[in-house]
Amino acid sequence: MSKARIRISVPSKAAKGELIEVKTLIKHPMDNGYMYSRDGERIPRRIINRFEALFNGKAVFVADWHEAIAPNPFISFYALAEESGRFEFYWYDDDGSVYADSAELKVV
Amino acid sequence: MRGWPHLRLFGLCGLILMVPGAESPTAQSLEMAPAAGASDRPVSGYHYMGGQIQALQDDDFLNPGIFAVERGEEIWSAVEGDKGLSCQSCHGDAADSMKGVAARYPQYDENSANLVNLESRINEMRATYMDASEFPLETDEMLSLAAYVAFQSRGMPMQVEISGEAKRFWDRGKEFYFTRRGQLDLSCSQCHDELAGRRLRGDTISQGHVNGFPFYRVQWGTMGSRHRMFRWCNWAVRAETHELGSPEYLSLELYLAWRGGGLPIEAPSVRP
């Protein structure tokens, strides 16, 4: 598992039944495979092709990404806070790397 | 000044302003364009871009330039070179020691009898005091460290010294700024003074200030320095480009920093 620069925003606490916003940002060039370097070499495609957000092991937000996603992909979604638990986030790189991060949510 | 060279510029604008929604480029509308004499009241490029990109800059969570600042923070404290030093070894906490520093660059350097900007100062420090290798310009390392240093001056007014020895560099920069160049035969001033606020295809022309650098440019998807932007601008008018860190661009940088004097440092800014 390689490292990547990731930013996660999940409120640490929420009331039961509250709608919370989850935000993630990952630094990634998202090379779409159609660009050429200064030397005229084609820059091979290397994108994050899948994003998964799990809560207590269960998928809550999953997306397949394609070439048109801009560098440094940002994802924001809303979730209903029903129980305390742990968000896990996974980004799947074309090169086989998986970047992971997590955040705790406490429902009071 | 308003003779045929001006009309030639007008002809060009007629072509490039023909986009849906743009106001028709009549001679009258050109004459009525706001007198954007930059020295009257500098306006940051921030105010010429759309709300969505402003939001990207305003929120440190979203601002991709903050990635560079974070990386720069690591470089700041990383020991490198034969003397076993980091930036931090001498300068301590950047939040104190680097506060306001970026706002004063470029500046005249007595020792080298030359003009130095933030990037060349960083390399000079690395070579002289750390015995470390210099960062090539425009690399992630250089942009990140420069962004981290400039970040410590965020919100502080840009204020450079142009008297004394710096004056001749300022003169050269000013000359560069007002010289028409390239196949489009445009000077910096013709767009950034006379046409600031007007449309250039999908973009709004800004006054061309340098208070947000190093910046994250959405079009590039990367960080960039002032000099990379100068190269881009020169290329865009199909003119000869100069090297990053060249005397031409250093002088221009000084002139522009003076021209936007008082504008708050926005590094890392986000621009379209």
| pLDDT tens, position by position, B209-231 | 999 999 999 999 899 999 999 99
- Give the distance from residue B221's alpha carbon to the nearest chain A alpha carbon, in angstroms: 6
pLDDT higher than threshold 80 for residue B125: yes
DSSP code per residue over B5-39? HHHHHHHHHHHHT-STTSPP--HHHHHTS----TT
B268 upstream amide cis, omega within 30 of 0: yes
Sign of CA pseudo-dihedral A72, B143, B252, B210: positive
Do B86 and B187 sit in the same domain of this protein? no
Beta partners for residue A19, in sequence order: A80
Q: Is A71 left (phi over 0), alpha (psi -120 to 50) or beta?
A: beta
pLDDT higher than threshold 80 for residue B88: yes
Least confident of A72-81, B14-23, B117-126: B14-23
| pLDDT tens, position by position, B182-212 | 999 999 999 999 999 999 888 899 999 999 9
- Across the range B134-158, mean pLDDT stands at 97
Q: CB B64 to CB A30 under 8 A?
A: no
What are the distances in angstroms from CA B186 to CA B39, B64, B177, B213, B228?
Answer: 20, 32, 10, 24, 19
Q: CB B64 to CB A5 under 8 A?
A: no
Do B46 and B116 sit in the same domain of this protein? no
Q: Which residues of chain A have pLDDT under 70?
A: 1-2
Do B168 and B125 sit in the same domain of this protein? no
Q: CB A29 to CB B221 under 8 A?
A: yes
Confidence of residue B233 (pLDDT cuts 50, 70, 90): very high
This complex has an ipTM of: 0.74
Q: CB A25 to CB B221 under 8 A?
A: no
* Res B11: pLDDT: 38
- Residue B34 identity: P
How far is Cα B60 from Cα B69, in angstroms, rounded to an integer? 10
pLDDT: which is higher, B107 or B27:
B107
Helix B118-125 and helix B140-151: axis angle, to 10°? Answer: 110
CB nearest A7 (choices: B61, B71, B221): B61
Q: CB A5 to CB B71 under 8 A?
A: yes
Residue B80 sits at φ, ψ, to 5 deg, of: -145, 160
- Give the distance from residue A58's alpha carbon to the nearest chain B alpha carbon, in angstroms: 26
pLDDT higher than threshold 50 for residue B29: no
Helix (H, G, I), strand (E, B) or coil at B185: coil
Average pLDDT, chain B: 88
Number of domains in chain B: 2
A91 DSSP 8-state letter: E
- Across the range B146-160, mean pLDDT stands at 97
Q: CB B64 to CB A71 under 8 A?
A: yes
Domain with residue B52: its CATH number is 1.10.760.10
pLDDT higher than threshold 70 for residue B33: no
Do B54 and B135 sit in the same domain of this protein? no
Do B213 and B266 sit in the same domain of this protein? yes
Confidence of residue B1 (pLDDT cuts 50, 70, 90): very low
* Pairing state between β A19-26 and A6-9: antiparallel
* Chosen from A8, A72, A75 to mutate, greatest number of chain B CBs within 10 A: A72
Do B82 and B175 sit in the same domain of this protein? no
CB nearest B61 (choices: A25, A27, A71): A25
Do B79 and B124 sit in the same domain of this protein? yes
- Quote the distance between the C-alpha of residue B249 and its chain's center: 10
- Give the distance from residue A1's alpha carbon to the nearest chain B alpha carbon, in angstroms: 20
Interchain CB contact of A70 with B (< 8 Å): yes
- Residue A77 identity: F
How many cross-chain Cβ pairs, A to B, lie less than 8 Å apart?
22
Residue A19 sits at φ, ψ, to 5 deg, of: -85, 120
The alpha helices in chain B, defined as continuous H runs, are: 4-16, 27-31, 51-58, 65-77, 87-91, 94-97, 118-125, 140-151, 166-178, 188-192, 226-236, 247-259
Range of the domain at B255: 42-59+159-271
Do B119 and B238 sit in the same domain of this protein? no
* Res B41: pLDDT: 83
* Res A2: pLDDT: 54
* This model's pTM is above 0.90: no
* Res B30: pLDDT: 38
- Give the distance from residue A52's alpha carbon to the nearest chain B alpha carbon, in angstroms: 19
Confidence of residue B106 (pLDDT cuts 50, 70, 90): very high
| pLDDT tens, position by position, B41-55 | 899 999 999 999 999
Contact list in A for residue B61 (CB cut-off 8 A) is 7, 9, 23, 25
CATH 2.60.40.10 fits A6-107, yes or no: yes
